[in-house]
């Protein structure tokens, strides 16, 4: 699909445009119609309306008047929506108007072929766009649950659902009370405090031990490398419930159940595979002649490590650390088993809350966590690119 191929864009026959628009209008009309009581009527009205609009836009007004026509459609649909259903109707109507205005010209002027190679058949073009729509639907599936949580966390009521006031965009339907609860209720603040006390220490342990071991593993002659690797990776492979069961039995024998250090140890072990994997991946491209050169010039091993090797593998170490941190910060199964009432972490609090469904404060917590994960995701991505650039694996 190189830029050199210019696909001719031409106006489509009106029969085609009107037909496609009628189908699309009928589809939209089906939903609006069923919502209002009669699906069949909705299809007919939608199809007829869209076909007529397409005809007017294409044949009567033409491409020259595209901008006014599209703005007009948005305005008319928005007003119709507002009369019909208030402010939500206004927004829905506006969106409808915008979409169909764009769609009429996109179909009618043949713009849909602009980015495709010219030799594609009609069927292939249809397939191309159906595939895009399908993928879009899957992306919606992936992202909707996370998006839905956010507005619900501003609910003024103690429900897990959208209230009519929220749907009407009435400011009275929204409030920050769940955030207030999250920030003031000792149950939640203690949970956050515990999580923040456990996760950094666990991360520190797994990063320091993990980085050393990864450096050892990356050397060329390690006896039993596969077996060692399998043992070090195993906390990630063994189902959490089994790890939790084993730890509960074993830690209760040595008196670690219900203690701070028990949880820290367990979380450190669960984070180790992530550190090992990211750091060994960084070390794969590491140029060992750099450390030799440093040693040649008289640097001792410690200086070599901190001045030469560490800066180069630091991105991998930090992203491994972030993985370990999120593992600990998000871990609930092991904490449920070996934790105690005073050591409730944030995920524990959310889990018990979800099981008993006490309050939408969970959703406020969830929204904050999504914010945190966006930050972490961004940092890991930046670090990964930086690491690849440092090692010369990608131009940047």
Partner 1 sequence: MTDAATEPDKITGPTPDNALRAADKADDGPVLAADGRPLKQSLNRALRAQKLRALALIAPLLIFVLVSFIAPIGDMLFRSVENQIVRDTMPRTVAALADYDAAAGGVPRDEVFEAAYYDVFYAAERKLHTRLGSRLNYEQTGASSLFRKSGRGIDDIGEVYQDQFEDLNGDWDEARPWAELMGDPTWIAAQEGWDGSGRMPAFELRSDIADVLPRTAASYQIFARFMQTEEGDSPLEEEPWTVVHTALYQDLSEGDVSGYTGPRSDMLQAAAALVASPDFETIAFRDGLEEIDEDWVDPEIWQTIKTYSPSYTSGYFLNSVDMQKTPEGPALRDEDERIYGLLFQRTMFMSMVITISCILLGYPIAYLLSNLPSRTANLLMILVLLPFWTSLLVRTSAWKVMLQQQGVINDTLVWLGLVADDARLTMINNQFGTIVAMTHILLPFMILPMYSVMSTIPQTYVRAAKSLGATNWTTFWRVYFPQSIPGIGAGSILVFILSIGYYITPEIVGGTSGIFISNRIAYHISSSLNWGLAAALGTILLVVVLLLYWAYDRIVGIDNVKLGG
Using CB under 8 A as the binding rule, the residues of this chain from 81 to 140 that contact partner 1 are 124, 127, 131-132, 134-135, 138-139
Q: Is residue 388 at the binding interface for partner 1, with CB under 8 A as the rule?
A: no
Count of positions on this chain that bind partner 1 (CB under 8 A) = 99
Cα separation, 336 vs 263, whole angstroms: 10
CB of 232 to partner 1, least distance (A): 6
CB of 383 to partner 1, least distance (A): 10
Residues 316-335 close enough to bind partner 1 by CB under 8 A: 323, 326, 329-330, 332-333
Among 80, 215, 299, 314, binds partner 1 (CB under 8 A): 215
Using an 8 Å Cβ cutoff, are 46 and 27 in contact? yes
CB of 365 to partner 1, least distance (A): 8
Q: Is residue 166 at the binding interface for partner 1, with CB under 8 A as the rule?
A: no
> Which residue, 65 or 393, is less far from partner 1 as judged by CB?
393
DSSP reduced 3-state for 103:
helix
Residues 218-247 close enough to bind partner 1 by CB under 8 A: 219-223, 228-235, 237-243, 245-247
CB of 341 to partner 1, least distance (A): 14
> Which residue, 105 or 323, is less far from partner 1 as judged by CB?
323
Residues 22-81 close enough to bind partner 1 by CB under 8 A: 31, 34-37, 39
Q: Nearest-CA neighbor of 120 among 14, 7, 4, 2?
A: 7
CB of 281 to partner 1, least distance (A): 8
Q: Is residue 142 at the binding interface for partner 1, with CB under 8 A as the rule?
A: yes
Q: Nearest-CA neighbor of 70 among 59, 57, 79?
A: 57
How crowded is residue 313: how many other Cβ atoms within 10 Å of its Cβ? 26
Cα separation, 384 vs 199, whole angstroms: 22
Among 77, 149, 201, 279, binds partner 1 (CB under 8 A): 149
CB of 13 to partner 1, least distance (A): 26
How crowded is residue 276: how many other Cβ atoms within 10 Å of its Cβ? 24
Tokens of 163: 């209230």
What value, to the nearest 5°, has the Cα angle with vertex 273 and ends 267 and 279?
Answer: 120
Q: Is residue 260 at the binding interface for partner 1, with CB under 8 A as the rule?
A: no
What value, to the nearest 5°, has the Cα angle with vertex 141 and ends 139 and 145?
Answer: 120
Q: Nearest-CA neighbor of 234 among 202, 201, 200, 277?
A: 277
Cα separation, 367 vs 373, whole angstroms: 10
């Amino acid at each position: 699909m190189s830029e050199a191929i210019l696909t001719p864009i031409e106006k489509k026959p009106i029969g085609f445009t009107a037909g496609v628009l009628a189908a699309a209008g009928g589809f939209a009309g089906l939903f609006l119609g069923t919502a209002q009581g009669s699906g069949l009527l909705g299809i007919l009205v939608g199809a007829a309306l869209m076909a007529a609009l397409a005809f007017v836009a294409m044949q009567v007004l033409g491409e020259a008047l595209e901008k006014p026509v599209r703005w007009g459609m948005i305005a008319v649909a928005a007003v119709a929506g507002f009369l019909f259903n208030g402010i939500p109707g206004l927004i829905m109507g506006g969106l409808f108007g915008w979409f169909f205005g764009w769609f009429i010209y996109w179909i009618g002027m043949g713009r849909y072929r602009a980015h495709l190679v010219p030799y594609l058949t009609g069927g292939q073009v249809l397939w191309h766009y159906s595939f895009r729509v399908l993928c879009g639907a899957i992306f919606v599936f992936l992202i909707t649950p996370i998006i839905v949580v956010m507005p619900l966390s501003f609910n003024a009521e103690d429900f897990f659902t959208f209230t009519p006031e929220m749907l009407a965009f009435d400011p009275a339907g929204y409030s920050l009370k769940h955030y207030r609860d999250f920030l003031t209720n000792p149950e939640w603040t203690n949970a956050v405090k515990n999580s923040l006390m456990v996760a950094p220490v666990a991360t520190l342990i797994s990063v320091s031990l993990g980085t050393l071991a990864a450096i050892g593993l990356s050397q060329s002659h390690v006896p039993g490398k596969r077996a060692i690797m399998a043992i070090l990776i195993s906390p990630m492979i063994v189902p959490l419930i089994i790890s939790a069961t084993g730890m509960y039995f074993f830690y209760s024998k040595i008196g670690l159940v219900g203690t701070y250090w028990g949880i820290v140890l367990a979380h450190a072990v669960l984070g180790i595979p992530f550190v090992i994997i990211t750091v060994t991946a960084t070390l794969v491209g590491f140029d060992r002649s750099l450390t030799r050169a440093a040693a040649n010039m008289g640097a001792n091993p410690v200086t070599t490590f901190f001045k030469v090797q560490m800066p180069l593998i630091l991105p991998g170490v930090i992203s491994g650390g972030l993985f370990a941190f999120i593992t600990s910060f998000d871990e609930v199964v092991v904490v449920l088993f070996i934790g105690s009432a005073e050591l409730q972490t944030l995920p524990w609090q959310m889990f018990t809350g979800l099981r008993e469904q006490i309050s939408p404060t969970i959703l406020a917590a969830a929204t904050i966590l999504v914010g945190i994960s966006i930050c972490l995701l961004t940092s890991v991505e930046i670090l990964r690119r930086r690491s690849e650039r440092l090692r010369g694996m990608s131009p940047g």
